[in-house]
Every structure is written in C-alpha cells, then in structure tokens.
Amino acid sequence: MKFKISLIYVFVLAAGLGAQGAQVVLKSSDVHISSDKIYLGDIADFTDTAPKDLEKLQAIYIKKAAVPGFKVVVEKEYVVNKLSRYLSYVNVEGPSYVNVYTSKGSVSREDVEKIARDYVLSNMPWKLDAADVKVKQVKGTVPVLEGTVLLKVKDEGSFSYKGNLVIPVEIHVDGRYYRTEPVSMVVRVNAPCAVAQTDISRHAVIPQGSVSMETKDITYLPDIIITDLTFLNNKTPVRNILNGTILTSDMFESLPLFRRGSLVDVIVKIRAIRVQSEGTALSDGREGEAVRVKLSTGKTVDGKVDASGKVIIEK
C-alpha cells in the first residue's frame, strides 16, 4: 500500500515540475500577421510545454490587430496578466514588448464599384436601354488584410433599383468576412407606365381608351407605378383622376363582386363539413374583404369574400 502511494506522489510531483517548467518566450523580432486578431501563438514560442497545454496556449486571444499597414504593441506585462487567467504556472520570458504589424493588402475601388454596378444591371426589373446607371466614383484603393479577396453584394431584398441607391459590397479575405464598402449611385429610369388620357371619375368603370402606356422618367416616382395595363382589369378609381396623370396602384380598388342588398351564397366550413345557405349582403363585397351578411333565419354573420363572390365562414 505504501509502495502505491509513493508511486502516485512521484507522478504528481513530476507532472507539477513539468508544468512549472513550461515557458512562453516572446519573439524578439517584429511580427507580421494577416488577421484582425492577435493570438499568443503569433507572438511567442513555447518550451517545455505539454502538448495539451501547447494547443491551449497558442489559441489564447491577446487583442485586436491594427488596421492593415499599421502595428499594435503587445507588452510583456499585458501577456502575463492574460495568461494568469488561463495557466498561472506558465513563465513568460523574452523582450518587454512585441511589435505586431498587420500585413497590408488592397482592393481597387474601381473593382468594388464594378461589382455594385454589375449587380444592379443584372437584377433591376428595367431593360438595359431604359436605365442609366451612374456610380459616384471614389478614387484610390480600399485597404484590407493580405490574402485572397472575394467581393459580393449584400442583398437584403430592399433595393428599388431606381433613384439614389447605396449598394453594400462585402469584402471577404481568405473566405472570412472583413468589411463592407458602400457604393453610391444614381439609377435614372425611363420606362413605360400607365397614363390617363382623359379625366376619369371616382368609382366609374374605366372607359375604353382612357388609359395608355407612355415612356416617362419614373426615377423619383413611387414604386407603385402601374407598368402593366392588365392591372386595371375589374378596377375602379378611388378618386377623380385628371388627364395626363401617371397612374399608381393606390389610386384604384377592385370592383365589387356584389353590391349591398344583393343575395349572396354563404358557405360555412367546419373542418371537412361545408354547409351552404343564402343571405343578404349588408355592404358591397370585394375579393378578400370581410363583409356582414344577414341570413334568411335573421341571424347576422361575418365572412370573407372569395374570388367567385361567395362569402366564406370558417369555424
């Protein structure tokens, strides 16, 4: 029993001595990195360190790196304080500080602007001859980390592709996101849109030939401009429209599928069961709108108008 205890004591003592002998030796020459973070493995060598501790030591984050082309000074005292949180038994040797330079690469601003321009031209809904894209050019280069650079537009589905645009171009270095460079441009658009050829009265049926397509400068007009005359099928104006007005979708509403006082079919859906009855509409009914109907029993119910003009009640 005493023999076993002695062996255990020797093993623990040997392990403790090995740990106490582990050393971090700061590099005496300037260090150059191509990353936005500095790790202990970048600025130090290691001696008498167990493999499991070596991997942990190398991956300890020290501080943020400088912008490309500049340096950060990492002081020995700072490293000692950092290590005290992880492996307090490790000794730190070497100079009192290390200069860490971030290797500088660059991206041509012209390349960034070309990516943004090409993206707009390939995704806008306008024909190429309908749009004039002018980039507000900036001279020079964009400083980045040294490495393989990839440029791509960050598309959040919010571009209107006309007027003043700011296109965010993401810069990735060696497969990792580095920064976003905004590109400003103006997209002028001359495109066909619906224009009133006569005065059109509120709630009137749109007369034949009272609307035609004309090419207009729609650069700074709202995105709800009508660019397809089929949109006006079964529509009526919600206000009076003057001759020469460029039409937008908010000027119209769908024609009622039935009028107030009309007899309508009412369908009640209860899971797989459908019960059909008849009632009197208490208001005009348009597709998708909620309406009230007075049933033949005298009861009043609420339902939604479907495309066929029936009132659907789901329970």
Answer whether 90's CB lies under 8 Å from 58's CB: no
What's residue 205's pLDDT? 87
pLDDT of 59 > 60? The answer is yes
What's residue 114's pLDDT? 96
Q: How far apart are CA 191 and CA 236, in angstroms?
A: 24
Q: What percent of the chain has pLDDT over 70?
A: 93
Q: How far apart are CA 200 and CA 207, in angstroms?
A: 8
pLDDT of 9 > 70? The answer is no
What's residue 150's pLDDT? 95
Q: Please name each of the domains of the chain with its CATH number.
A: 2-102 (2.60.480.10), 106-189 (no CATH), 191-248 (3.90.1210.10), 263-314 (2.30.30.760)
The total number of residues shown for the chain amounts to 315
What's residue 52's pLDDT? 80
What's residue 21's pLDDT? 60
* pLDDT digits 0-9 by tens, 138-174: 989 999 999 999 999 988 777 889 999 999 999 999 9
pLDDT of 216 > 70? The answer is yes
pLDDT of 12 > 70? The answer is no
Higher-scoring residue by pLDDT: 9, 194: 194
Reported as a pLDDT band with limits 50, 70 and 90, residue 20 is: low
Please state the rounded mean pLDDT for residues 43-56. 86
Reported as a pLDDT band with limits 50, 70 and 90, residue 7 is: very low
Any bridge partners for residue 121, and if so which? none
Reported as a pLDDT band with limits 50, 70 and 90, residue 279 is: very high
Please state the rounded mean pLDDT for residues 182-199. 95
What's residue 272's pLDDT? 83
pLDDT of 112 > 50? The answer is yes
pLDDT of 38 > 50? The answer is yes
Please state the rounded mean pLDDT for residues 84-101. 88
Most confident of 14-18, 229-233, 272-276: 229-233
Higher-scoring residue by pLDDT: 57, 110: 110
pLDDT of 3 > 70? The answer is no
Give the DSSP per-residue string, the chain.
Answer: -HHHHHHHHHHHHHHHHHHHH-EEEE-SS-EEE-SSEEEHHHHEEEES--HHHHHHHHT-EEEEPPSTT-EEEEEHHHHHHHHTTT-TT-EEES-SEEEEEEPEEEEEHHHHHHHHHHHHHHH-SS-GGGEEEEE----SEEEEESS-EEEEE---S---SSEEEEEEEEEEETTEEEEEEEEEEEEEEEEEEEEESS-B-TTPPPPTTSEEEEEEE-TTS-TTB---GGGGTTEEESS-B-TTPBPBGGGEEEPPSB-TT-EEEEEEEETTEEEEEEEEESS-B-TT-EEEEEETTS-EEEEEE-TTS-EEEE-
